[in-house]
Structure 1
Amino acid sequence: MKIGITGKLFFAILATCMLILITMNWGARISFERGFTDYIRSSNEQRLNLLSHALAERYRHEGNWRFIQRNEKVIYQLLRSFEQNDDQRDEAPLPPQGWRAPFWIFDTQGRMLAGSSHPVPQQANRKAIMLDGEAIGWIVGMPSEKLTRSTDINFAKQQNRTSWILIGLSTLLAAIVTLLVSRSLLSRVKHLMAATHHLAAGDFSARVPVTSRDELGTLANDFNQLAKTLEKNERMRRAFIADVSHELRTPLAVLQGELEALEDGVRQLTPTSLHSLQAEVRSLTKLVNDLHQLSLSDLGALTYRKSNLDVIALLNLAIAAYRGRFENKGLSIEVELPPSAMLFGDPDRLSQLFNNLLENSLRYTDAMNNHTSGKLKISASQTKDQLLLLWQDSAPGVTDEQLEQIFERFYRTETSRNRASGGSGLGLSICWNIVDAHDGQISATHSPLGGLEIKLFLPLASDTSTL
């Protein structure tokens, strides 16, 4: 029979409770027996001492032992006087009636004057009754060990039975509480198990209710975050497949239509028709190349040959290559850069990063908006250990919702930044991976010029960087 985690937890907690109960019972009994025996011994010794002094004083007054011969009432009166004055003494209180040891009084010739009717045990304690330094008699008391073995046996049995009854009731109560606690704790584990099975079966909408802030609550929260991430990745995967199919289908459909028109004689084979075909092939080739680059960057398979380099010089080269295209579209480039900034990075990948950002601004920035010429402003500032690059272009801008998705692959806004500009929607995704490979950060926000602002944080090279 296989015991589940609920049964294991139940038996573990119950066994621990039983062990604690038995240990406490055993320790309490040992402590009680030893302490109680010492208490009886010391109290009876005190009682015999008081009786010895009282008898000595009475003997001084009477001059002989006749006052107690055949008159044990005197002994009881003395004992009662001890009990009445018990609260006024500093010594330990006398034992209760049921725990008093039997005693016997003898004169100096060994004749018993008063005492118990039981025979005197051999191990009895003898105490002399002293008067003015001389022994005038003896008090013999039963030893406390004998008392413990004989008189408290019933009491010990009663205490033993009571202890086991309490242990049984405590065990039953512990079992009930343990069962409730184990079920309460493991009910959340069962929810996690069920949700995990749904997740493994492909149901990424599975969630676990978070009902506490303990470790199980943290685990449930982490599980929900994992399920949310997997659900998002699955949605992105499906969207990626759909986008790839759509992006590939469009140029292929155009090519097929153009070729069929040429084959049917609807269109003539002219330089214009060849140029149209080449444009679609270039678009298709660029899309395939972007997909290849993106897949390599996602897998970390892009080769990075890093070295110490001046990133400002690299950026100026990229700007110089694009300045003519910007001017042809009626856009201007405004630059505010420091003289130099040393990074430890791959010059080819950083050039690809800058080219993608320049291409993005070139494609999606209007030459004229509200009688204002379009432009791109590139600025940089340095701190002790990082370089901040700002990419700010003019209108059109994007919404807050679009900003959250702008680095997702194949994403293009539905207004001015659309497919008509020729973009595949993969450039910024590749930029994200390149910046991440250089231990930097990239983010997007609204530009003060009315368009999009890209922030790049890249770590500066340290003196210990190696080639």
Structure 2
Amino acid sequence: MKLRWRLNIRAKLFMTIFGSCLLVLMVMHWAMRMSFEHGFVDYIRESNEQRLSLLSDALAEQYQQHGNWTFLQNNNRMIYTLLHSLEQSQPRDNFPSPGWRTPFWIVDSQYRVLIGPRKKLPVPRIEHPITTPQGLVAGWVIGSPPEQLTRSTDINFDHQQKRASWIIGALTTLLAAIVTWGLSRGLLAPVKRLVGGTHQLAAGQLATRVRVTSEDELGQLARDFNQLAESLEKNESNRRAFMADISHELRTPLAILQGELEAIQDGVRHLTPAAIASLQSEVMTLKKLVDDLHQLALSDAGALRYEMQPLCLSELAENICATYVQRFRDAGLSLHYRFPPSAPCIGDISRLSQLCHNLLENSLRYTYAGGGLVVSLQQRQNDLQLTFSDTAPGISDEQQQHIFDRFYRAEDSRNRASGGSGLGLAICRAIAEAHQGTIDCRHSDTGGVTLLVRLPLMTREQKI
């Protein structure tokens, strides 16, 4: 079995940063070594040229005094004495501090060696003329260019600098490794938390949250992760509540149907028109529940068809309200409505009719006897506001936040005893949003609930 060595992201980040630091250190070390070696040689060259120049001036004075070079032949001691006197007479700031690094020669005007090593004159070389006051060249002071270090002290100094540079490079590399390791750990700590949170989330622990410790992109990613986990947890909670609610809603009419049929089957109850009507009522309840669920499913999937066309919302709402007047009276409620002569908009007539029917049924089912409902339509600058305001009972602020949720009903006042499945207002919200509008819930001045439907006003281009 072939094994593969896989690097994690921390190791990859460490190797990337450390490799970059190591490359920079190597380039800096090489550049500093080259700069030192060339600079040191240039310093020695400049020092020797300065000494050669001073020596040539001093020899010119001696030549002027003696008139020839006989005083210098085979007289090395005089040269040493002359050099020593030059060092003593020159200011320390003007005289080069290091001694001679390369051999030098003193020759006459015919390039005959007077003082110097017994070997051929170097080529290339440095020449400083020995010039008399009359401008004649009496000889030359010649030095070999210091292309490489020759003195043991200079070589030892160069080796010392090399060792120091290698030690500094090693310590700097170690420091870079330590800093890079800590930096990689710090940078990847949020990523590690996100990886752990993702594993927990994938395992079904939807309550998982990660700690946000920064305001950068990783911090934003952590916040997005928490928001995603919260959405998943909320959706899962809604799914479970939806399954519980729908099973409950289906169980009630099915239990009634089963009881009625068993009673007829056992002969406890006869198959009369009243029994058939009761069974038919429960079947219609089931059918309405299934139809509402089907409509919401289509709306969520974006498959619910809307046939948009110009219409007058005031005329549509007035016709629907007129059909409910008698039903409200029979329930001991009043129904008042007032609409402007014209309220043009673009919409689906059947869907908007369903919205009005659901809101009217909602007030008819839940409003206490003796109260009533007021329906009004107001045309504003950019939209139409259709208002349904009924009387007691009302709902709390917390219930307002959930009134458009599926299967939600305020159990203290608007309970299942009044009928309904809790899907009507959810369908109204879906219809309003499909028309680019909104629906809101507020407390009414008469102690009940006010539902406000806002729909876009027909524009001039849509009229054309």
The answer to whether the superposition gives a TM-score over 0.5 is: yes
- Of the three residues 365, 368, 393, the one matched with 2:367 is 365
What residue number does 1:418 align with? Answer: 415
- Of the three residues 407, 428, 443, the one matched with 2:404 is 407
1:98-137 superposed Cα distances (whole Å, 9 cap, x missing partner): 6855544444354656678997533221121334433243
User: Please, what TM-score do these two structures have when normalized by structure 1?
Assistant: 0.82
What residue number does 2:335 align with? Answer: 332
Greater Cα offset, 438-447 or 229-238: 438-447
Greater Cα offset, 355-364 or 334-343: 334-343
Q: Distance in 1 between matches of 2:341 and 2:158?
A: 95
What residue number does 1:427 align with? Answer: 424
SS at structure 1 position matched to 2:436: coil
**AA at the equivalent of 2:193:** H
CA contact under 8 A between 1:326 and 1:333: conserved in structure 2?
A: no
CA contact under 8 A between 2:343 and 2:379: conserved in structure 1?
A: no
- Confirm whether residue 9 of structure 1 aligns to residue 40 of structure 2: no
What residue number does 2:22 align with? Answer: 18
1:399-457 superposed Cα distances (whole Å, 9 cap, x missing partner): 22212222211000112111122121111222222233333333333334433333444
Q: Distance in 2 between matches of 1:455 and 1:149?
A: 101
What residue number does 2:355 align with? Answer: 353
Change (3 A) 1:412 1:111: same
Q: Distance in 2 between matches of 1:170 and 1:106?
A: 53
Q: Distance in 1 between matches of 2:187 and 2:305?
A: 50
SS at structure 1 position matched to 2:449: strand
- Of the three residues 449, 453, 457, the one matched with 2:450 is 453
Coordinate RMSD, CA, aligned: 3.6
Q: Distance in 1 between matches of 2:434 and 2:14?
A: 50
Q: Distance in 2 between matches of 1:338 and 1:101?
A: 115
What residue number does 2:125 align with? Answer: 124
Q: Distance in 1 between matches of 2:9 and 2:251?
A: 54
Greater Cα offset, 121-130 or 232-241: 121-130
- Confirm whether residue 397 of structure 1 aligns to residue 394 of structure 2: yes
Please list, as runs of the form range in 1=range in 2, the aligned pairs for 1:2-151 lying within 5 A after superposition: 2-3=5-6, 4-53=8-57, 56=60, 70-71=77-78, 72-86=80-94, 96-97=97-98, 101-108=102-109, 110=111, 120-132=121-133, 133-147=135-149
- Confirm whether residue 242 of structure 1 aligns to residue 249 of structure 2: no
Q: Distance in 2 between matches of 1:418 and 1:76?
A: 120
Change (3 A) 1:171 1:244: same
CA contact under 8 A between 2:389 and 2:451: conserved in structure 1?
A: yes
Q: Distance in 2 between matches of 1:203 and 1:294?
A: 29
Q: Distance in 1 between matches of 2:66 and 2:438?
A: 112
**AA at the equivalent of 1:298:** D
- Of the three residues 221, 224, 227, the one matched with 1:222 is 224
Distance apart, 1:331 and its partner CA:
2.8
CA contact under 8 A between 2:375 and 2:386: conserved in structure 1?
A: no
**AA at the equivalent of 1:352:** Q
Q: Distance in 2 between matches of 1:394 and 1:149?
A: 112
What residue number does 1:90 align with? Answer: none
Distance apart, 1:226 and its partner CA:
1.3
Q: Distance in 2 between matches of 1:149 and 1:317?
A: 116
Distance apart, 1:311 and its partner CA:
4.0
**AA at the equivalent of 1:249:** R
1:272-322 superposed Cα distances (whole Å, 9 cap, x missing partner): 444433332222221121111111112222112334444444444443444
**AA at the equivalent of 2:281:** A
Change (3 A) 1:78 1:441: farther
CA contact under 8 A between 1:331 and 1:367: conserved in structure 2?
A: no
Q: Distance in 2 between matches of 1:466 and 1:95?
A: 100
CA contact under 8 A between 1:70 and 1:114: conserved in structure 2?
A: no
What residue number does 2:436 align with? Answer: 439
Change (3 A) 1:163 1:442: farther
**AA at the equivalent of 1:20:** V
1:362-404 superposed Cα distances (whole Å, 9 cap, x missing partner): 3233344xxxx433343434334x5454444333222222122
Q: Distance in 2 between matches of 1:456 and 1:313?
A: 16
User: Please, what TM-score do these two structures have when normalized by structure 2?
Assistant: 0.83
Distance apart, 1:200 and its partner CA:
2.0
Distance apart, 1:56 and its partner CA:
4.7
Task: Number of aligned residue pairs: give it.
Answer: 454
Q: Distance in 1 between matches of 2:453 and 2:87?
A: 100
Change (3 A) 1:301 1:22: same
Structure 1: 5+ residue runs without aligned partners? 87-93
Q: Distance in 2 between matches of 1:207 and 1:273?
A: 56
CA contact under 8 A between 1:312 and 1:337: conserved in structure 2?
A: yes
**AA at the equivalent of 1:418:** N
Q: Distance in 2 between matches of 1:335 and 1:291?
A: 33
